[in-house]
Amino acid sequence: MRRGLALLWLGVVAVVAALQAAAWLRDVEVRGELLALFPVETRDPRKTAALNDLNASVAGRIALLIGNGTRELARADAVRARDRLLASPAVSSATLSGVVDADAVLQLYRAKGGGLLSDADRTLLASGGGARLVDRAAGQILGGFGIIDSDWLKDDPFVLLPSFLQSLPRSFGATELDDGMLTVREDGTYWIVLVAKLSGDAMTLDVQKSVVEAVRAIESASSAGTRVLKSGAVFFAEAGSRVALQETSTFGTISTIAVVLLLIAAFRSVGPLLHNLISVSVGILFGLAAVVLVFGNIHVFTFLLGTSVIGIAIDYGIHYCAQCYSAEPDPARRLARIFPGLLLGFVTTIAGYALFLLSALPGLSQLAVFMVVGLTAAFVTVVLWFPALDRQRSRPLPAALDAVTRAIDRLARSNGARWGGLIALVLLSLYGAAQVRVSDDVRTLQSLDAALVREQRDIQRLAGVQFAGQMLAIDTADDEAALQLQEMLIPRLDELVRQDRLVEWQAPARWVPSSSRQQADASLVDAALVKPFWTMLARRIGLEGPELSPRAARLTLEDLRAVGLLEDLVRGPGRHAVLLMGLVDPQDGRRLAELDPRILFVDAAGEVSSVLALYRERAELLVAAAWIATLVLLIWRYGWRGGVRVVLPTTVAMAVAPLIAAVFAVQLNLFGILALILVLSIGIDYSIFVREGPPSERHVTMASVLLDALTTLLAFGLLGLSSAEAVRGFGLTMLFGIAIATILAPLAARPGRAAR
Amino acid sequence: MPLTLRSMALALAVTLPAADAAGQTVVRGTFDQTRTLKGHTSPLSSRGTFSFSADEGLIWHVTSPVEVMTIMSPRGLAQSVGDAAPTHLPAGQVPMFAMFRAMIAAAITGELDSLSGTFTLERTEDSAGAFTAVLTPKGEGGAGRLPVRQLVLTGRTLIETATIHKTNGDTDQIAFLDQRRDTGGLNDAEKKLIALSSR
């Protein structure tokens, strides 16, 4: 019967493996976008499009500054750097002269700027201050070294255009165009600005590799004394990926070698190692298959967290394998001895994860399906296959393992140690409680490369290059409506700048006012300046001849787009972007968006943070629900006192672990809560194994718990050394939680029955 | 407004009186400027004073028919009309400012040859030491993009007249008068004015 079931399970596993292979060959959709984690009903297609726009205008750009004390060397290196970037498949364009032809833009404004007024001039004219503009015009005509010539006067007799032009935003504020190259000079160094646009997604490894290789080649090919500064999301992403890969490789190698050595040393055979590898692989296979079957896709979030099934599934296998240290030689009976404990541990974990299906969050729902099905498959594998594969003879515990397990058992059951441990835990927890900070801000989860941060600051200081972090996405029926909406925002944005709550902003309306505003401004100039003051101006400067009036031609959005301007700001008819640079408080952006339903505030970091906050809050509730479900099952099995006794070690571990982690400056966030879910799932297994284990062989049970804990700590605890805050927090919470749950597990034993 | 500033820089560079390169030397004087604008029957005339220091910068003060003060220094530009508060333009916001300063230096030293990269220079000198320099912008790039057809400079040890012929038919003529050198540097009042440009 058992053999038949084992073979049947082999058939099922083979079929699922084949189907999965076929499905992945057909290309299963692996979703990585953040918004896919939001509940479907709250997903806003406008926000998705706007986030993509922001991403394209921010993440898709890089800026390099090439500096040398000799102007010619700096320029020659800059040309080589541009050519090298253009040779990279990841770069679609690169320029040393700024993104637009400044002369062409000026000619356009001169030809069609009849309706352009700076805000200051508009205010002055509206308040009857035309005479002051006459004085200014006279000064510019007579005192400006002949700049204002007859052509200029013909189109702009009151010389209003320079004032408007000076109010335009400057992308590269501190630079000047020196013989075709944007240049800034500081402390004897000539810095040339090189800006480039990427052809692909900055978050993909291929693009990162290509761009970074190009920049390295630029650095190595540059003249002696040349420095290259770089700025752009792609560099931070590459540094993050590189560190993550290095850490994954280092921690993964250490942990794999350590787990292999541990299991081989503990069982003196590779059999248990291979058997556990099989059960964990089957678990992951079924978890993946179930998610793909139910959802039709899998999110990276599920994939990464789902593999933590390893930490739980391996416990079942090790618990079985450790029975070789019992007196029972028969594999079937070995299983029978531990089966109630295995089953209860499995059921409590499954019940906890099944509750995640109620979260209404796609990420957690996928995770629930992955864990429930994956753990079930791993459990079935252990139950059906392990006894059949078991070739281990009964033997005593290795001396070292025996000594450690007995020490832990004694420690947990000694009154002195209990009180000492309790006082130490309480004191540590109280200290940790004072340090606990809840933060979902994604920016605090990343440890940005310090050298890159310095280079970015230098570029910002030297050349004024700053990438937008947020934007207001405008979505209206046509361009005119979009420009009018921006004109409503302009005074509010200027006020934020005056209050130092915003460094800079860019919007199409800053370059080209709406037609209605140009018309109104032209009428204002005619009524408040030309008609009342032309004679005064002509007399003041001694000009004779016909009355001059501003040109009638009006500037349009299309005019500016034709000269390459507004590329990042206009996404389509009526779809404009107001880019916000250095916004101090995102709440200010939200308030602006609340002024009109056609405005959407888009904050890339804020979106990630809000996903993290939403998931943390739901995960907190689910942890509580899973804990209650576990307690109910335990009470059903062991009664009130027994249930509480079994749940107590894990509960203490869950309560104390985040507090101790806080002592190490770990902020409480989603990753900490996910660690607590694992502490509950894994820790409760330890207590159940101890409770269910034969009292006469407590040392065997504790040995299996200890091996479980060591493999878990090696797999997850090492993450506490990570430089990424999220990973470090997860690892440290796991480390403290699992350690405490292990040390306290003997408390779950039936009272009055000591170890052998 | 890169184009206009470039014309300003070049025009200024080639019309300033030649002076010693020594930093403390200041050239002071008066000027008469006559602008003939195409389509207007009478020229625009203005006059005023100027002070120039290689280290500190230029004070260009139109006193008639309106009062306009224009200050240029390595740190930027400032201009005020009458009693109105001056408007500022930091050097970092002025395209071509480094080139502009380099051209001023050329004008200070009187070494017009340094402009030979962007202008074709024809210089004649009579036996009495009076010279005439005719500068024509070269090619398509650089000065060739300026709305200037020709610059004609005359003088002896100092530049005495500058005539700028624009491509649109306008002509600006500046006569530098009463020029005197002073090695004592700018006075306190002038230093205060120069400081306006760095606000």
What is the chain B residue with the closest CA to A108?
B1
Residues whose CB falls within 8 Å of the CB of residue B45, separated by 6 or more in sequence, listed in order: A542, B32, B33, B34, B35, B65
- Cβ-defined contact of A139 to B45 (cutoff 8 Å): no
The pLDDT of residue A749 is: 86
Q: Which residues contact A365 (CB under 8 A, 6 or more apart)?
A: A295, A356, A357, A359
Three-state DSSP state, B121: strand
DSSP assignments along B71-92, one per residue: EEETTEEEEEETTSPPEEEEGG
Q: What is d(CA A568, CA A54) in angstroms, rounded to the nearest whole number?
A: 9
Cβ neighbours, 10 Å, residue B185 = 14
For B142, the closest chain A residue by CA position comes to A179
What integer pLDDT is reported at residue A588 of this predicted model?
Answer: 94
Q: Per DSSP, what are the bridge partners of residue A64? A: A194, A230
- What radius of gyration, in Å, describes the C-alpha atoms of chain A? 34
Contact B77, B93 (CB under 8 A): no
- Say how far apart CA A674 and CA A41 lie, in whole Å: 24
> How far is Cα A420 from Cα A745, in angstroms, rounded to an integer?
17
**Closest CA relative to residue A682, chosen from A661, A660, A713:** A713
Q: How far is A59 from chain B (nearest CA, A)?
A: 27
Tokens of A698: 């407590």
Strand residues in chain B grouped as ranges (E): 26-36, 44-53, 57-64, 68-73, 76-81, 87-90, 119-125, 131-137, 148-155, 159-166, 171-182
Q: Chain A contact for B85, CB < 8 A?
A: no
Predicted local confidence at residue A456, as pLDDT:
84
Q: Which residue of B has its CA nearest to A135?
A: B81
- pLDDT, greater one: B19 or B74: B74
3-state SS, A292-346, equals HHHHCEEEHHHHHHHCCHHHHHHHHHHHHHHHHHCCCCCHHHHHHHHHHHHHHHH
Per residue in A342-392, pLDDT tens? 898 898 888 878 887 877 777 788 888 998 999 999 999 999 999 999 888
d(CA A29, CA A167): 48
Within 10 Å of residue A369's Cβ, how many Cβ atoms?
24
C-alpha–C-alpha distance, residues A655 and B39, integer Å: 88
| Per-residue model confidence (pLDDT) at position A610 | 81
What's this model's pTM, rounded to 2 decimal places?
0.68
Cis peptide upstream of residue A162 (ω within 30 degrees of 0): no
CA distance A436 to A62: 38
Strand B57-64 relative to strand B68-73: parallel, antiparallel, unpaired?
antiparallel
Question: Can you tell me the distance from the alpha carbon of A438 to that of A613, in angstroms, rounded to the nearest whole number?
Answer: 10
| pLDDT at residue B20 greater than cutoff 70 | no
| CA–CA distance, A172 with A63 (Å, rounded to integer) | 11
Does B54 contact A at CB distance below 8 Å?
Answer: no
Find the chain A residues whose C-beta atoms sit closer than 8 A to any C-beta of B: 102-103, 106-107, 132, 135-136, 138-147, 149-151, 153-154, 161-162, 165-166, 170, 173-179, 183-185, 540-545
List chain A residues with CB under 8 Å of B96: 176-178
- Give the pLDDT score at A436: 85
Q: Evaluate the CA torsion angle A701, A704, A710, A712 in order and state its sign.
A: negative
Each residue's pLDDT tens digit, B117-137: 777 888 888 888 888 888 888
Distance in Å, alpha carbon of B123 to nearest chain A alpha carbon:
24
Q: Who contacts A609 (Cβ-Cβ below 8 Å, separation ≥6)?
A: A440, A441, A442, A443
Consecutive 10-residue averages of pLDDT for chain A (756 residues): 86 93 81 62 70 73 90 92 92 78 76 85 92 87 74 86 78 65 84 88 80 92 91 83 75 80 85 90 91 84 70 84 88 90 88 79 84 92 92 85 83 81 87 86 73 85 75 93 95 93 88 93 91 88 74 85 81 89 89 94 80 85 91 92 93 94 88 88 90 83 88 81 81 92 88 52
CA angle, A561 then A566 then A567, to 5°: 85
Q: Is B82 on the interface with A (CB under 8 A)?
A: yes
B62 touches A: beta carbon within 8 Å: yes
CB A68 within 8 A of CB A190: yes
B37 phi/psi in degrees, rounded to 5: -100, 135
Residue A624 has a pLDDT of 93
Of A124, A133, A142, which to mutate for an interface test with B (greatest number of B Cβ within 10 Å)? Answer: A142
What ipTM was reported for this prediction?
0.81
Inform me whether the C-beta atom of residue B60 falls under 8 Å from chain A C-beta atoms: yes
The residue with tokens 């470090």 is A728
- Between A and B, how many residue pairs show a Cβ–Cβ distance under 8 A? 132
| H/E stretch holding A97 | none
Residue among A180, A113, A61 nearest A511 (CA): A113
> Mutating which of B45, B66, B146, B168 best tests the A interface, going by the most A Cβ atoms within 10 A?
B66
B42–A176 CB contact, under 8 Å = no
pLDDT tens-place string over residues A494-531? 999 999 998 888 899 988 999 999 999 999 999 999 88
- Are the Cβ atoms of B81 and A143 closer than 8 angstroms? yes
pLDDT for the residue A32: 62
- Closest alpha carbon to A469 in A582, A609, A576: A582
The predicted pLDDT at position A717 comes to: 78
pLDDT greater than 50 at residue B16: no
Q: Which ranges of A59-204 does DSSP label H, i.e. alpha helix? A: 71-87, 102-112, 119-126, 130-143, 150-155, 161-166
Strand segments, DSSP code E, in A559-634 are 570-572, 575-581, 599-603
pLDDT value for A422: 84
Q: Strand, helix or coil at A380?
A: helix
The conformation of residue A448, written as its DSSP 8-state character, comes to: -
Q: How far apart are CA A703 and CA A692, in angstroms?
A: 14
Chain A residues close to B81, C-beta within 8 Å:
135-136, 138-139, 143
Give the integer Cα–Cα distance in Å for A684 and A148. 84
Query: Cβ contact (<8 Å) for A103 and B35?
Result: no
- Which candidate from B37, B42, B94 shows the least CB-CB separation from A150? B37
Radius of gyration of chain B (CA): 16
Give residue A632's pLDDT. 93
Question: In this structure, what token pair is assigned to residue A370?
Answer: 């992955």
- A735/A661 Cα distance (integer angstroms): 9
Give how far Cα A377 sits from Cα of A6, A105, A285, A409, A731, Å: 12, 67, 9, 32, 26
Tokens of A245: 């890969």
- Angle between helices A604-663 and A725-744 in degrees, nearest 10: 40
How far, in Å, CA of A631 to CA of A535, rounded? 93
**B residues 89-118 lying closer than 8 A (beta carbon) to A:** 89, 92-99
